[in-house]
Amino acid sequence: MRFLSLLSAVWTVGFAFAQSNADAFIAKEGPIAKAGLLANIGPSGAKSQGAQAGVVIASPSATDPPYLFTWTRDSALVFQAIIEQVISGTDASLRPHIDNYVRSQTILQQVSNPSGTVSSGGLGEPKFNIDLTAFTGAWGRPQRDGPALRSIALINWANHLLATNNASYVTNSLWPIIKLDLDYVANSWNLTGFDLWEEVNSASFFTTAVQHRSLRQGAALAKAIGQTGVVAGYTTQADNSLCFLQSYWNPSGNFATANTGGGRSGKDSNTVLTSIHTFDAEAGCDAATFQPCSDKALANLFVYVNAFRSIYTVNSGIPANQAVATGRYPEDVYFGGNPWYLSTLAVAEQLYDALIVWNKQGSLTVTAVSQPFFASLSPGVAVGTYAASTSTFTTLTAAVKTFADGFVAKVAQFTPSSGALAEQYDRNDGHPLSAVDLTWSYASALTAFAAREGKTPVSWGASGLTVPTTCERNTSPGGGGGPSVSVTFNVQATTVFGENIFLTGSVEALQNWSPDNAIALNSDNYPIWSVTVSVPANTRIEYKFIRKFNGAVTWESDPNRVINTPAPGSFIENDTWR
Ligand SMILES: *[C@@H]1O[C@H](CO)[C@@H](O)[C@H](O)[C@H]1NC(C)=O
Ligand SMILES: *[C@@H]1O[C@H](CO)[C@@H](O)[C@H](O)[C@H]1NC(C)=O
Ligand SMILES: *[C@@H]1O[C@H](CO)[C@@H](O)[C@H](O)[C@H]1NC(C)=O
């Protein structure tokens, strides 16, 4: 008896601790995070000297790691948070930053870069110099979430301006840049690209989800401002990408696989970020759009969080029903593989978002898919729908709130007294690591804290969607299933008897860098080896030839070969083995 009551006392104190810890931390950290975020925006941010107006630096860290660049993805996520603050009336004084952002992106879209020009794939370029010139070094490119996220931010802004009688600015200044991004997304969502961590070149859950959201919102905005010519095309590709989105679900593992390539477990913060960045409270707990309170998104959160319990020393000894430090994915080795502030805060935010919806709809449903998650917080809870008047609803929502606060408390525990948020915190002792003052870390704190206050981001039309029964490929020009160019690859290569030459590269048509599935060339004109392949037109493709002999594979020397494919037709590429 004594033991039991002592245990429950510890339990209660533990719960109260997480809550008060979160309250105190948020009161202090909120203003610090906002100031930290604004310090990283040009032209006058305290830590972003040299950045053009409206340019978000990723971090002031110039070396080790070099993050003094502007990423399209990070900037868009930061500006989504700022735009949300202006729209909701939290801080109208931020509006001039949005005007600067719009101007900076108008320029940036036109900057030719290694991914191409504005009309030949350049919008997929992930990062630029902070003076708005192209970054020309080697990088994981393209990354196709950037244009989607930027258009989402600007569409949210456009909808607000439409509602406040400023349609002319929307049509004249915003729509042209939004349309460039949406056309890019509509054309390229069905092509591979690098994931948000810039490592895996395949299709990626986060990327597909934000592409879907941008096309859905884009079609609605186009309709609202009379740009009706693009509505059907965007809607078709939105339907197609929503269909494809469902294919990432791993029913036996009970989580969404982060990438179609990469060869990892697939458990990844990518998926939790997807849930919070496609949150639409109007859509309830819809699983097709991975809403935060959907059974799939909660099951996924549970599997993702549990993947970090045993791998980080900072998580040792923490009971299985309490919050832990979480990172990008368990196999991560970058800077030794550590928890990230923005990943841990994303878990809290998803749970706060879920609470918003359960309270709004006055009920909560436990399905077979989400039952393991709920049972970890309330052992034995049964599948069913619980109205707000029931004690089960009260118990579960209180437990979810405490669990969520625990993730904020984790971040609080490992944030230095200055309140500065780096990119990572050490897996062994929790000290801050990698880039200092990461702008995205600050944005993630602001959005998590807002969700805890019950602030609901703008709706984007996730409600009432129907997932097509069969998934169609993209048949728009260069879209993976559409117009292509016939390229004959010739390579001069001397070989020994029994040795053969193959081709693989960065697109599905070239087998996505798979040596196993590489395309065989014929030696009819030896020593010229040749094959003709249909590849996407107007696309930057990287490739290499490989030799296979007695089961051994030999790659050509670096760097990768590059071909910028022309318009539909045919083309001959002549190379010599390297
Ligand atoms: C419309 O919004 C733009 C961008 O913030 C602003 O410069 C302009 O003054 C606004 N116009 C009206 C009529 O409110
Ligand atoms: C393209 O879409 C089809 C149909 O959904 C899907 O099977 C394929 O994996 C997709 N490929 C990419 C790279 O998005
Ligand atoms: C490759 O060689 C063929 C003739 O052998 C020529 O027609 C073609 O233009 C060449 N391709 C390039 C890109 O130079």
The DSSP-derived string for 402-435 is HHHHHHHHHHHHTS-TT----SEE-TTT--EESS
Q: What is the pLDDT of residue 120?
A: 82
Structure tokens at 564: 């910028």
Architecture of domain 1-39+251-465: Alpha/alpha barrel (1.50)
Q: Residue 385: CB within 6 Å of ligand 3?
A: no
CA–centroid distance, 482 to ligand 2, in Å, is 12
Ligand 2 nearest atom to the CA of residue 243, by list position: 5
The answer to whether residues 62 and 68 touch, using CB atoms and an 8 Å cutoff, is: yes
Test site for ligand 2: of 470, 473, 535, 539, most ligand atoms within 8 A of the Cβ:
473
Please report the pLDDT score of residue 483 as a whole number: 64
Please identify which of the residues 29, 84, 181, 195 carries the catalytic annotation.
Answer: 195
Q: Could you tell me if the CB of 192 is within 6 A of ligand 2?
A: yes
The preferred substitution site among 102, 161, 166, 173 for testing ligand 1, maximizing ligand atoms within 8 Å of CB, is 166
CA of 382 to the centre of ligand 1 (A): 53
Asked if residue 243 lies in contact with residue 288, where contact means CB atoms within 8 angstroms, the answer is no
| Ligand 1 mutation target, pool 100, 101, 104, 169, most atoms within 8 A of CB | 169
What amino acid occupies position 380? Answer: G
Residue 12's CB is within 10 A of a number of other CB atoms, namely 10
Residues 6+ apart with CB under 8 A from 503: 489, 510, 518, 519, 521, 531, 533, 543, 544, 545, 546
Which uninterrupted H or E stretch holds 554? Answer: strand 552-555
pLDDT 10s digits, 220-230: 999 999 999 99
Specify whether the CB–CB gap between 358 and 456 falls below 8 A. no
Q: Ligand 2: which residue has its CA nearest to atom 3?
A: 473
Contact between residue 416 and residue 432 where contact means Cβ atoms under 8 Å apart:
yes
Residue ranges of the chain with per-residue pLDDT less than 70: 1-19, 476-483
The reported pLDDT for the residue numbered 481 is 57
Given CATH 1.20.1290.10, say whether it is the number of domain 484-576.
no
Q: 68-249: same fold as 1-39+251-465?
A: yes
Q: What pLDDT sits at residue 508?
A: 78
**Binding-site residues from annotation for substrate:** 139
Closest ligand 2 atom to the C-alpha of 189?
A: 14
H-type helices in 437-559, by residue range?
A: 439-452
Helix count and strand count (H, E) for the chain: 14, 19
Query: What is the predicted pLDDT for the residue at 8?
Result: 39
Q: Tokens representing 156? A: 């949210």
Please state, in angstroms and as integers, the Cα–Cα distance from residue 137 to each residue in 113, 140, 373, 416, 436, following that order.
10, 10, 44, 34, 23
Q: Say if ligand 2 is within 6 A of residue 536 CB.
A: no
Q: Are 392 and 386 in contact (CB under 8 A)?
A: yes
Contact present, 219 and 211 (Cβ < 8 Å): no
What residues have CB less than 8 Å from 406, skipping those under 6 apart?
A: 18, 322, 323
Ligand nearest to the CA of 174: 1
* Nearest alpha carbon to residue 290 among 330, 348, 249, 342: 249
Domain boundaries, the chain: 1-39+251-465, 68-249, 484-576
| Amino acid found at 519 | I
Q: Is 468 in the pocket of ligand 2 (CB under 6 A)?
A: no
d(CA 230, ligand 1 centre) in Å: 25
Residue 31: its H or E element: helix 2-38
What's the 497 CA to ligand 3 centre distance in angstroms? 27
Task: Note if the bond before 416 is cis, omega within 30 degrees.
Answer: no
pLDDT the model gives residue 6: 39
> By alpha-carbon position, which residue is closest to atom 7 of ligand 3?
572
pLDDT of residue 12: 41
pLDDT for the residue 103: 98
Ligand 2 atom with minimal separation from the 191 CA: 13
Active site residue 198: yes
Q: Which 8-state DSSP code applies to residue 116?
A: B
Residues 386-414 pLDDT 10s: 999 999 999 999 999 999 999 999 999 99
d(CA 15, CA 401): 10
Determine which residue's CA is closest to atom 10 belonging to ligand 2: 190
CATH class of domain segment(s) 68-249:
mainly alpha
State whether the beta carbon of 230 lies less than 6 angstroms from ligand 2: no
Of 23, 99, 198, 542, which residue is the catalytic one? 198
Give catalytic status of residue 353 as yes or no.
no
Binding site per annotation, positions: 139
Block residue for tokens 């460039």:
180
**CA neighbor of 547 nearest in space, from 517, 515, 525, 573:** 515
Model pLDDT, residue 162: 98
Pocket of ligand 3 contains residue 576 by CB under 6 Å: no
